[in-house]
Amino acid sequence: MRNLLAGIRQKHGQIRGLVHGAGVLADRLIVDKSIDQFAMVYGTKVDGLHSLLSATAEDELRFIALFSSTTGRFGRIGQVDYAVANEVLNKLAQAEMRKRPGCRVVSINWGPWDGGMVTPSLKKVFAGEGIGLIGLAAGGDFLVREIAATGSPVEVVAIAGAAGELSAISPISRSQVLPEAFALNLTVNDYPFLRSHVLDGKAVLPMAVIVEWLAHGALHGNPGLRFHGFNDLRICKGVVFEQGSPCTSVSWQARPRKGIPSIWCPLN
């Protein structure tokens, strides 16, 4: 790899970007999988990336784009090795982002493309699940946009709908309906700590608890991510327990923004 890259630098100048797209499949149930098959699927992605990163450690890279897969995020029967490899790519991307300030690092968890390793039989499986195929041009445009999107999340999920329209699951666009992370039915009796937080004679949900539940909701909606904190947290209207109506339903909805989970908390 070092020799290869040295030749490329000599011929084309400094290396400024890295796209890692190598990958192979060996789909089988875990019981039928051999160590060699696992090593081939895992090694192609992970060892390949380690080798590239180490050979470009001294290059001032402006971007690193990794081809990960929705299998790493959601799993898929027969693809445990592939899922592990892709999730390791996601986390190596996070680590690399911290090591290289000024370098846009993105790991795109692609849904199926209309080409490459997606065979006709796999296409049928995806069609049955209502998952569309990412067109080559649309996928290429998406990749370029993501590389250019400084300050955006490191881990992005890109998946096509049944009609082939491509959307990024992270970040979610404002117009999308937010999924409910969890719902609570609050009563002073069930949550006695509320009796200790009384303003103007009425029990009020403490902000510290709201923060804890918001963080919990964010992680619910984003498995595998870590909660780092809030930006611009404001409580515009407190959750107040009016006398005579002790019950308030609260549902928490998670929306990741710029890598940091944020929450909408509508009160029913």
Interface positions with ligand NAP (CB under 6 A) = 21-24, 44, 48, 67, 69, 110, 112-113, 116-118
Q: Among residues 162 and 183, whose Cβ is nearest to ligand NAP?
A: 162
Instruction: Return the residue nearest ligand NAP (CB atom).
Output: 116
The upper half-sphere exposure of residue 124, i.e. CA atoms within 13 Å in the direction of its Cβ, equals 2
User: Could you give the strand order of the β-sheet that contains 180-186, starting from the edge strand earlier in sequence?
Assistant: 180-186, 248-257, 260-264
- Tell me the closest approach of the beta carbon of residue 88 to ligand NAP, in angstroms: 12
Q: Which is nearer to ligand NAP, 92 or 254 (CB)?
A: 92
CB closer to ligand NAP out of 68 and 253: 68
The amino acid present at 141, given as its one-letter code, is: D
Closest contact distance (angstroms) between CB of 214 and ligand NAP is 32
Cβ at position 58, least distance to ligand NAP in Å: 22
Residue 67 vs 241, nearer CB to ligand NAP: 67
**Smallest distance, ligand NAP to C-beta of residue 67, A:** 4
